Every structure is written in structure tokens, then in C-alpha cells.
Structure 1
Amino acid sequence: MRRSRRARLAAALLPLAALTACGGEPAGASAGPGSTTRFSENGVTVTLSVSDWRGSKGTLTAVFTPEAEGFHLYSTDLPPTGIEGVGRPTTVAVGGALEAQGPLRASARVRSIRVPGVDSPVPVYPDGPVTTTLAVSAPGNGGATVVLGYASCSTRDGCTIPVSDRAVHLRVTDAGPTFAAS
């Protein structure tokens, strides 16, 4: 049975309307429903989206937003174990049916701070949200995983517990990646 053009349009716009009503933003004109997801863990809200999907390539965007005022994230360039054990890098990696097509890029400039008891400066982003982007491709269809790591800290209030290897699952089809319901 064929659905009318109006019914198909309504069905296509319903997820966008629901996302907008919940305060979300569309991921891009060429990305489909399910191309954005959000979660909060250890004082940071993370919004993931896939945009600019053309053929088998697109952009994965992760926005890390500390939930408390005065908190910042550590740089993507921080060593995996931090500086003298302090901090954890902001990381976004993909696996399964998605492959990275270059390095993770952050929208904010890195600045260095001094932490009591640490001799070397620690690279962080300015307080507030940080947007990262990763060019991705899908050589085929199937399951994919985005793996995230981050920690937030305040020079006044201390640090939150780091998040390591937080997995978010997607399904890649010819129409592009969609996030699994969480």
C-alpha cells in the first residue's frame, strides 16, 4: 500500500519535531532521523550527531557541555594518563562499520593551567562547552560504535570522575548512520 505524499512528509518530520521539542538541534539536512543522541554522565552532557552524510562519508560531531558553571574539559592532546596523573583527554573514536578519516578536531583553543601539586602545566579548554568533529566513512553497512572519554574540572571545585570508554551504538545503512535507542 502506498502512503500519500503528505503522510510520508509528516512521518519524516515527526522525529525532527520531537527532537526540537526536547531542545535538540537537527544534525544537518542530509542526515536522517536518529542522527542525534544525547546523554549525561559525571557532570557532562554529551550530544552526538552525524551530519553532511553523502555517499558513505560524513561528520561525527560531539558537543561536551559541563553541567556546572566554571568547569572545563581536558584537551584532546592530553596524554592518556594525564599530566603527572592529573586529567584525562577528551576522546572520540569509532569502530565497527565506521572508520575515522582523520584526526579529532576541537573548536576551542587550548590553554594551560597550573594545578596544585603538579609541576607541569595542564592543557585544557576554556570553561563551558567544547565541540569536536571527526570525519568518518562507512565502507559497508552494519553496527558501529562511538567510544568517548572525557573529564571535567574546575580550578575552584575540583574534578569530576573521568568517563572512559563510554560506548554509543549506531546502525549504518545505505541511508547513513542512526543512533540506537538508549
Structure 2
Amino acid sequence: MNLSPRTRRTRTARTAIALLTLAALTACGDPSAQDHAATGAAPPPSTSFTENGVTVTLSVSDWHAPKGTLTAVFTPEKKGFHLYSTELPPTGVEGVGRPTAVDVTGVLKADGKLTAAAGIRSIRVPGVDAPMPVYPDGPVTTTLPVRADGIGDATVLLGYASCSAEEGCTIPVAGHPVHLRLTDSGPTFTAH
């Protein structure tokens, strides 16, 4: 079929718009997924769950066997809720609060310290003498350098508690398991 130059340009433009729309939809607003779509690389493996008022999204990025970065984004479902600092003691302060925690077991090991991409602020809680270290209201992104000791199964254990000055606290979550399988081609999240 012999098409005019104008018709070819129109079809090319429509195809480009369709491909850009598809790329935007498949990336779902995830900047790392958009970067991977632009380079043609597969997005990092990821999974998510919601428990006790917080959605947790996990991903493994920068995987260069046997090392990578485990990222956990903790997002309170309701506006005005915050998470406690990773530095909070395991049983809280005077029994109040629980730390935001990410740990790994199995063939995956921590290869550094858990860090959060949010500043810590102190708040006062009625009945507690010491100030409570918390993150600002809203989502908190944490990262943990990890390394694999071989191929096989691993488990990510997550803990957190969210609170609001107006509505109080949700029930803390401790040791919520998320399972991974490490193969020669890298880590993948598995359902259990």
C-alpha cells in the first residue's frame, strides 16, 4: 500500500502516543519502573501487602549477584498517620510504639544497616515521659543492603506501627513474613 507522507507521519505519531501511554500505564507511577521502561530493562521484582492500616511495598533493586538493595515503602492508609523510627527500641519507649523494622533470613543476609529516607522528629505521648522518635506523617521509604549466600529461599520480616495524634495507634505488626526465592537469575518474590 502506498501511503502519503502525511498519513505515514500521522500513523507514526499515533503509534508513538500509544506506546508512551502504555509505558506510563505499566509503570504505574513508579519512577524506577519508568527508568527501566525507558532503558528496556525489566523492572525490579516487587510485591506489596496491607496490614493494620499500612501498605508495605517491597522491591529488590541494583541486583548484581550476590548483592542488591531491598527497599520497603511503608504507607499509612489514612492521612495524618506516622510511623515510628527504625531507632526505636524493639519494645518501644515505656512500652509504647514499635520500630519500623526490616530483617532478612534464609539465603539472604543484611549487608549493612537499615536506613530511612525521612527525617526523625520527636513527639510527646500522654503517659510517656520520654520523647518518641517518629517520621513525619505519610509514607516512609527504607533501604537495606543485602547479599545472598547462595540460591534458595529467603524471608523478609517486617515490623511497624502507625499512629495519629487525633485517632491513636493501629495494632503493631511484628515479623510479617514475605518470601523470596533466589536463583541464578536473581531474586523473585513468591506466594506462600
Q: Could you say which TM-score interval applies, normalised by the shorter chain?
A: 0.7 to 0.9
> Counterparts in 2 of 1:1-182, with a 5 A limit?
21=26, 23=28, 25=30, 26=33, 29=36, 35-181=45-191
CA deviations over 1:24-67 (Å, ceiling 9, x no partner) = 73397498567100110000000000000012110000000000
Cα separation, 2, equivalents of 1:141 and 1:28: 28
Q: 1:82 to 1:28 in 2, by over 3 A?
A: farther
CA deviations over 1:79-117 (Å, ceiling 9, x no partner) = 011011110000000010101101100000110000011
Which of these two proteins has the greater Rg computed from alpha carbons?
2
**1:175 CA drift (Å):** 1.1
Q: 1:111 to 1:149 in 2, by over 3 A?
A: same
One-letter amino acid of the structure 2 residue matched with residue 94 of structure 1: V
Cα separation, 2, equivalents of 1:27 and 1:35: 14
Cα separation, 2, equivalents of 1:104 and 1:34: 19
Scaled by the length of structure 2, the TM-score of the pair is 0.80
Cα separation, 2, equivalents of 1:96 and 1:45: 24
Q: 1:21 to 1:28 in 2, by over 3 A?
A: closer
1:60–1:136 Cα contact (<8 Å) kept = yes
Scaled by the length of structure 1, the TM-score of the pair is 0.84
Q: 1:31 to 1:181 in 2, by over 3 A?
A: farther
> CA RMSD, aligned part only?
2.3
1:28–1:51 Cα contact (<8 Å) kept = no
Which consecutive segments of 4 or more residues in structure 1 shift more than 4 A? 27-34
One-letter amino acid of the structure 1 residue matched with residue 85 of structure 2: S
Q: Secondary structure at the match of 2:177?
A: strand
Q: 1:40 to 1:74 in 2, by over 3 A?
A: same
2:27–2:34 Cα contact (<8 Å) kept = no
Q: Which has the higher contact order (CA 8 A, sep 6+)?
A: 1
1:28–1:52 Cα contact (<8 Å) kept = no
Identity %: 67
